[in-house]
Homo-oligomer: A and B are copies of this chain.
Amino acid sequence: MTGPRFTPLVASLPATVPFVGPEAMQRDRGRPFRARLGANESVFGPSPRAVAAMARAAAEAWMYGDSDNHDLRAALADHHGVAPGNIAVGEGIDGLLGNLVRLVVAPGDPVVTSAGAYPTFNYHVAGFGGRLVTVPFRGDHEDPEALVAAAAETAAKLVYLSNPDNPMGTWHGGTVIEAMLARLPEGTLLVLDEAYLEFAPAEAEARIAADDPRVIRMRTFSKAHGLAGARVGYAIAAPRLVAAFDKVRNHFGMTRMSQAGALAALQDQSWLADVRRKVAAARERLGRIAADNGLLAVPSAANFVAIDCGGDGDLAAAVLRELVVRDIFVRMPGVAPLDRCIRVSAGTDADLDAFAEVLPQALAAARELAGS
């Protein structure tokens, strides 16, 4: 008896996954983290209105969620001044990226991104057999000119850019994105990941017509809205592309609680403003903590700060390990030269107290290892 015959593509895929979650790390360690600052979650939590809406929806969980996500899409359309036909809702940006790649990328099709950018996007490209072409960051920023050039050279189906970017937290002005769009080769779709846009200055937002067929913008409730555990992302795009998601998506895949929670979160803009202020304060404090340790923080427009550990990737990896050993969960970029940094999410005062307490010890231990 043999097992199932996997497709040749699936048989060729590695078993590695984009991220090991903090729960898995806690199980391995046998104890919880003191500060959970690795996944760019919002430690400030979701709006109490969103929590209440999800609790109410839980009692009605015997009913499938609305497969059209009608109310949420209508509210998002209203919020962005676009039509509901411009909005696709999905199981986080991760879920939307997977379906987008499936729609556009056939085996062998080229896709362009930055070396060190979002691993889950790369995971989906590999998962559908796409050929990933990378260009380096430039001065800790994604490089729109190089991305466009690589897209033109390879006739890429997709080119990915995050603004603000992950993992460095830097950003481009909206006009830079608009200029990139103007130079985009015919037939290449710009995947503009704006997961962290709520934390950035207003001028980071590109002015893009809702029906522009050259771009799909990705947004999420996982970051500023504090609903990572509810899995709600959405895309803004031309109606033809939005409608195409209906050909492949899991139609009843959005939970009732998630739809209700996201809708309530969207309606609590004062909570969002408060979270923005707290994140800005946390970024400043992370900068001070870095400086207190003789380190440089990369200026961030996101809800995390990349801190340059002052050495190579091995040193930063050692700092990260020493932080984790001391119960501080952080992550780091995967590619040089970005990997000279660790990436620390905005935390509560208590979280940052813990980080400030432990960082000097972690640095000392890492440097000792590096020197030995």
A18: interface (CB < 8 Å): yes
Is the pair A127, B255 in contact by a Cβ cutoff of 8 Å?
no
Q: Does A294 count as interface, using CB distance less than 8 angstroms?
A: no
Q: How far is the CA of A103 from the CA of B247 in the complex (A)?
A: 18
Cα–Cα, bound, A271→B261 (Å): 27
Residues of B within 8 A of A64 (CB): 21-22, 39, 41, 222, 228-229
Chain B residues, Cβ within 8 Å of A17: 67, 246, 251
Residues of B within 8 Å of A13, CB to CB, are: 247-248
Q: Assuming A94-B250, A104-B7, A229-B57, is B15 touching A41 (CB within 8 A)?
A: no
Counting CB contacts under 8 A, is A70 at the interface? yes
In the complex, per-residue mask of A208-231: 1 if CB is within 8 Å of any chain B CB, else 0: 000011101000001000111111
Q: In the complex, A226→B104 CA distance in Å?
A: 36
Q: Tell me the dominant secondary structure on chain A's binding face.
A: loop
A158: B residues at CB distance < 8 A: 4
Given A63-B36, A67-B24, A248-B127, is A253 in contact with B231 using a C-beta cutoff of 8 Å?
yes
The chain B residue with its CB closest to the CB of A240 is: B3
Binds B, one of A44-52, A131-139, A146-154, A335-343: A44-52
A65 within 8 A of B: yes
User: Is A59's CB under 8 angstroms from B45's CB?
Assistant: yes
Chain B residues with Cβ below 8 Å from A120 are 251
| Residues of chain A at the chain B interface (Cβ within 8 Å) | 1-10, 13-15, 17-24, 27, 36, 39, 41-46, 50-51, 54-55, 57-68, 70, 91-92, 94-95, 98, 102-106, 109, 120, 127, 157-158, 186-187, 189, 212-214, 216, 222, 226-231, 238, 240-241, 243-244, 246-248, 250-258, 261
